[in-house]
Amino acid sequence: MEKSDQIKTLIEQISNLKKKSVLQNKFLNDLKSEPIDIAPLQSFLEKEENYTDLGLKKINSKKIQLDDWKTALNKIKSIDIKPPKKPTPPNSESTDSSKNIKYFDVEYVEDKRDIKIYLKKPKDPVPNDIFKFITDVEKVQSTINELYKGKEGLTFLRSLSGIARVGGTSTFIELANMHLNQLKDEIILRKGITIKFSYLKELGIYALSAIVICFIIFLIPVLFEIKYPVIDPIYLNNGLFIIIGASIGTWLTFAIQKKQISFEDLRTLSENKKSPLILLIILLLIAFCFYLMFITNFLNIKVGDVFSTEELINKENKNLALLIGIFFGLSENTLGLKLTSRVASFISKI
């Protein structure tokens, strides 16, 4: 194939393309220049990725002369060139859509550790994203004030007030949300582990106290040969080990489930300092209610031929009672619902 035929085929293939690249359109435009400037045409040929996708072989640009280009162009009747799109001048609609709208003003009162947000009255309705952002800022502020009482808290509040100012505009709301999440992550990094272990410590102290009390109640009749009035020791012993197991299981549940503290957990765990004790008391009472249901045959659970809850009547089955108690503690999230459903089922038959 002659050199001019190679050029002709190349030009026709590119001209027939429905979608041309910027370089391909420029190549066709360069062909129409008077006189022909061979330099940009040769440069186009040197980059074979400009045309090898069309199934054409690589063309040695160094062997192509000006006459070859002219001969190829004489053989082609027309070249289809799509002129580049001219930038459209901005109209009123595009101007309105890109306008930066300010939805609220922010005032930071450092003495009161308070960030005040004053909503404006724009012509257009305030988007829900803005209201959600304001709510998030207020939650973060209250969490910071709860967790930090000193200068470190002021540093976080200054950062938060700056983020709130950025988020008050329609243009930068996404950027503000991103920085707000980063601030949350930093607070979690600094306080999350401390609060988690503080809560675990408190819960552990209460659980250990419950275990010690149960052991004391269990050992008193053994050491001093004293019998408790009304309470049958057959039922008492396994009930105590149910409570011991539930105390262990409750502590394990929090240690296992709360591997990662969320930002919402920070303030909840910090504010509810008595919640470990209340949680433990509620769960131990529920566990003991189930134990009473087992020993009165009100509820009987069998697992194959392995065991049945009827065996709890035997005071020697302390290991079984301890294991069931641990299971109760580990399922503290659903145990209350199970008890109420059983009670509701019983009441419905009255």
Same domain, 115 and 209: no
In a domain, 224, yes or no: yes
In a domain, 214, yes or no: yes
Instruction: Kindly list the distances between the CA atom of residue 292 and the CA atoms of 4, 216, 239, in Å, as whole numbers in the listed order.
Output: 100, 21, 8
Report the domain count for the chain. 3
CB 292 within 8 A of CB 222: no
In a domain, 283, yes or no: yes
Nearest to 118 by CA among 100, 130, 110: 130
Instruction: Kindly list the distances between the CA atom of residue 21 and the CA atoms of 25, 27, 28, in Å, as whole numbers in the listed order.
Output: 6, 10, 11
- In angstroms, the CA 252 to CA 249 distance is 5
In a domain, 117, yes or no: yes
Same domain, 145 and 291: no
Secondary structure of residue 307 in the 3-state scheme? strand
In a domain, 296, yes or no: yes
Query: Mind listing the pLDDT tens digit for each residue in 228-283?
Result: 776 676 678 888 999 999 999 999 988 887 666 778 777 777 666 557 888 899 99
* Amino acid identity for residue 260 in this structure: Q
In a domain, 83, yes or no: no
Q: What is the pLDDT of residue 208?
A: 94
Same domain, 298 and 210: yes
Same domain, 231 and 269: yes
| Ramachandran area for residue 201 (φ above 0: left; ψ -120 to 50: alpha; else beta) | alpha
Same domain, 295 and 201: yes
In a domain, 176, yes or no: no
Same domain, 235 and 296: yes
Strand partners, 169: 102
Same domain, 198 and 342: yes
Per the structure block, which two tokens stand in for 111? 């003495």
Same domain, 338 and 211: yes
Domain boundary among 111, 142, 171: 171
Nearest to 314 by CA among 340, 294, 330: 294
Note the pTM of the prediction, 2 decimals: 0.55
Same domain, 196 and 338: yes
Same domain, 161 and 219: no
Cβ count near 76 (within 10 Å): 13
Q: What is the pLDDT of residue 210?
A: 93
Only one residue has tokens 């189930």, namely 290
Instruction: Kindly list the distances between the CA atom of residue 270 and the CA atoms of 101, 186, 263, 274, in Å, as whole numbers in the listed order.
Output: 38, 17, 11, 10
Q: What is the pLDDT of residue 209?
A: 94
Nearest to 164 by CA among 149, 152, 151, 175: 175
Domain boundary among 171, 205, 225: 171
Q: What is the pLDDT of residue 93?
A: 42
Same domain, 121 and 265: no
* Amino acid identity for residue 237 in this structure: N
The bridge status of strand 104-109 relative to strand 302-303 is: unpaired
Looking at residue 113, what DSSP letter applies?
Answer: T
Domain that holds residue 17: 3-75
In a domain, 333, yes or no: yes
Spans of the chain below 50 pLDDT: 80-97
Same domain, 237 and 335: yes
Q: What is the pLDDT of residue 270?
A: 64
